[in-house]
Amino acid sequence: MASLGIFSLISTLFLVLALATTASPSKVLSPNYYDYVCPKALPTIKRVVEAAVYNERRMGASLLRLHFHDCFVNGCDASILLDSTSAFDSEKNANPNMNSIRGFEVIDQIKLEVDKACGRPVVSCADILAVAARDSVVALGGPTWAVQLGRRDSTTASKTTANNDIPAPSMDLPDLINNFKKHGLNKKDLVVLSGAHTIGFAQCFTFKDRIYNETNIDPKFARERKLTCPRTGGDSNLAPLNPTPSYFDARYYNDLLKKRGLFHSDQALFNGGSTDSLVKAYSSNAKAFWTDFANSMVKMGNINPLTGKRGQIRLNCRKVN
């Protein structure tokens, strides 16, 4: 009788473990999440992204930035895509995003095409952001990686959190390190993800103080930037983040060695501090940068995702169902 009781207990434990194992995939991310749900999802996203980047190379950097700014505000949950409602003010109106964050029409187009390909809305806007970021980097000649999938979309947004948690271009190294640490990212992640500034453009107001008032800057570089960024006015004038803004290379780190970082926060990574050695390493090893960038993008994409029954799959990425 005792042995029968023990056998029954063991059987029960195995059943509990089996149920737990069966339930766990819905609570974690997986690169294969859509393989059976909608195998056409990822190819569809890639097709729309490639077309958008072909039409405007700058869009690649914009889509990458959307994912970054989404993940740093309460996790990768597509909250950045929500328009304002009576319940909350949109993150689009936060200082780091207002009149600068872009690419929403491309995300709308992806959502439309993906839902059509899948026959129903099964792909979250949060996953669309993550995959579009990867496909944008690849379209600009950069590395690829297996995007973890299965995120769900938030039902709210926070302009206040966006103002507080998205790193500012004026930040010093200690503030940058603390900001990234708050999101579970280390100094290596900081340096490698900042390498995303190897593509794209920036508005004059984000670097005006640096080119006119800072001393750890190459004088020739400062003069070049002043040509299109006057001391007064011209705040929305664009400048490339580096000389090859449409190609995902390691030029960004070489520029930092020459004191040609466009943002204060860029040059802070190579200014006699604890990240100097990482900048030097990536400046001479583009392959290592690509490998580490891919790994850090996966890590960033895992910041507080909504999974299981939390959140929703939005019908329209701009509003809650």
Annotated active-site positions, please? 69
67 annotated binding-site participant = no
Alpha carbon dihedral 118, 149, 83, 235, in 10-degree steps, equals -120
Structure tokens at 315: 């019908």
Structure tokens at 52: 């958008």
70 annotated binding-site participant = yes
244 annotated binding-site participant = yes
Q: Which helix (H) or strand (E) holds 201?
A: strand 201-203
Name the residue type at position 277: S
Q: Whose CA is closest to 195, among 126, 278, 85? A: 278
Neighbouring C-beta atoms of residue 312, cutoff 10 Å: 16
Strand partners, 152: 306
25 annotated binding-site participant = no
308 annotated binding-site participant = no
77 annotated binding-site participant = yes
What's the CA gap between 166 and 179, in Å, rounded? 8
73 annotated binding-site participant = yes
Is residue 296 exposed (0-12), middle (13-18) or buried (19+ Cβ within 10 Å)? buried
- Give the up-direction half-sphere exposure of residue 174: CA atoms within 13 A in the CB hemisphere: 0
- Give the up-direction half-sphere exposure of residue 16: CA atoms within 13 A in the CB hemisphere: 6
What's the CA gap between 134 and 294, in Å, rounded? 9
Structure tokens at 133: 């970021």
105 annotated binding-site participant = no
Q: Whose CA is closest to 102, among 132, 63, 148? A: 63
Is residue 6 exposed (0-12), middle (13-18) or buried (19+ Cβ within 10 Å)? exposed
Tell me the binding residues for Ca(2+): 70, 73, 75, 77, 79, 91, 198, 244, 249
Tell me the binding residues for heme b: 197
Tell me the binding residues: 70, 73, 75, 77, 79, 91, 167, 197-198, 244, 249
Tell me the binding residues for substrate: 167
